[in-house]
Amino acid sequence: MKALFCCANSLKRELGGPKIQIELAEALRMHDWSCDLRGREEIMRDSSVDYSHNLKSYLQEFSEEYDVVEYEHFLLPFERSLFPSKTLFVARASLLAHHYLRIRLPKPTYWLDRVRKAIRPGVLHPSLVKAGVAQAQKTIEEADLVNVANRQDFQVLVESGIPENKILVQPYGLSEQSIRKLGALDANRKTSPRVAFIGTFDVRKGASEMPAIIDQLVQEIPGVCFRLLGTAAEFQTAEDVLKRLPQKHRSKIEVIPHYQSEQLPSLLEDCAVGLFPSYLESFGFAALEMMMASLPVAAYRAPGPSDFMPSDWLVQSGDSKGLVSLLSRWLKDPVFLENERRRASTLAKTLTWEKVAISTSLLYKKAIEEKFSQI
């Protein structure tokens, strides 16, 4: 079988969307699939039009060579009849757009960002969100299948009129390399009272609550410190992020805007627990990676993490005090923490790209057989 994965961003493993397709392609190749990946630079052959129209042109030219084509769930809002009928077209929801009509994200709490939003009022304007959801709905309706990674995505799509038999729920997993390297960290190793956070520093990932979380936890545990990894997005430098966190605690906060995936084990080695206050994910790789490194993770009960994390590690979205309570309990009780760390690594080992590849391969082959029988 031959598959083409079209990424809307550059093919970098450190980016969430491309990471999914890169690691799935690697796993499928172990099961006799031939997989090609195309990043944004290869798709954008005509700079006079947007990515969606470039993707349409690219797939009209090349998709007939493949059994399966995957692309982002809001970037191909065109009639299915424009493309080869025998190729299976799969829209992958790496962050389902429909949730933005349901999940209220907090407003930035710092004055500079309020000014920025006032200057650029169209960035998160409701009409743009609705237009984006409409484009996603059209893309999904025209696709042969839509692939989502969590049960809440499935439910939202069913409520929006997508037939259940058109939706595949396929969680993600860790690569063999990640399992080997992160799993090599001993759950019983000695660590400092350090809290790890992996993610971009923005409101979706909990940036608005981060100052309160840090301040409250320092009051509970004066010796606690924090390591924030992969923060670069809206704020590119460590200094930009630190300006938005409590000045009196900055000596306790280490910010690393960029890191390579192979550096992650050493960056998590001396951390005791993880923090993942995201309001919305397709899955939540960062939480799973921290768990694989034997860190229990305090998180919001949000789409994505809720599917694979223990319910007693989850609190209601926006409940910063609940997160602090979890982190504080772990850090104050070494015996309890040791048990939770073993629990974290045990749970993480059950989610692998190997399992996902086997399941995906079977489902795609079945869908192709059914498609051919109808042509």
pLDDT tens readout for residues 215-262: 999 999 999 999 999 999 889 999 999 999 999 999 999 999 999 989
| Average pLDDT over every residue of 273-295 | 96
The residues near 315 (Cβ < 8 Å, ≥ 6 apart) are 298, 299, 300, 301, 322, 323, 325, 326
DSSP string, 182-202: HHTS-TT----SEEEEES-SS
Of the listed ranges 13-27, 115-129, 296-310, 360-374, the one predicted with least confidence: 115-129
CA 218 distance to own-chain centroid: 28
Decide if 200 contacts 234 (C-beta within 8 A).
yes
Give the Å distances, CA to CA, from 195 to 103, 113, 161, 221, 290: 26, 26, 42, 11, 11
Q: What are phi and psi of 251, to 5 degrees?
A: -70, -15
Q: Buried (b) or exposed (e) across 337-349, using 16+ Cβ within 10 A?
A: beebbebbbebbe
Please list, in sequence order, all residues whose beta carbon lies within 8 angstroms of the beta carbon of residue 47, skipping any fewer than 6 positions away. none
Q: Are 19 and 285 in contact (CB under 8 A)?
A: yes
> pLDDT at position 104, please?
85
Closest alpha carbon to 363 in 115, 77, 148: 148
Task: Report residue 121's pLDDT band, with 50, 70 and 90 as the boundaries.
Answer: very low
Mean residue pLDDT of the chain comes to 92
Q: For the chain, what is the largest distance between any 2 Cα atoms, rounded to a whole number of angstroms?
A: 67
| Separation of CA 70 from chain center | 17
- Of the pLDDT bands very low, low, confident and very high (cuts 50, 70, 90), residue 123 is very low
What is the number of residues in the chain?
Answer: 375
Q: What is the pLDDT of residue 107?
A: 76
Greater confidence, 372 or 145? 145
Q: What is the reported pLDDT for 235?
A: 92
The answer to whether the beta carbons of residues 4 and 38 sit under 8 Å apart is yes
Question: Which has the closest alpha carbon to 367: 145, 73, 36, 141?
Answer: 145
Return the pLDDT at 117: 45
Amino acid at 156: V
pLDDT confidence bin for 19, thresholds 50/70/90: confident
Q: Is the pLDDT of residue 110 over 70?
A: no
Q: How far is CA 135 from CA 77, 100, 130, 147, in A?
A: 6, 13, 9, 17
pLDDT at 47: 93
CB-based contact 225:194 (threshold 8 Å): yes
Q: Does the structure show a pLDDT above 90 at 114?
A: no
Average pLDDT over residues 5-34: 90
Token pair listed for 11:
């093919």
Distance CA 228, CA 195 (A): 8
Amino acid at site 106: P
**pLDDT at position 105:** 85
Coil vs helix vs strand at 372: helix
Gap between the Cα atoms of 267 and 227, Å rounded: 8
Q: Among 7, 15, 8, which Cα is nearest to 261's?
A: 15
Tell me the per-residue pLDDT of 319-349, one tens digit each, with 9 for 90 and over.
999 999 999 999 999 999 999 999 999 999 9
Tens of pLDDT, residues 154-163? 999 999 999 9
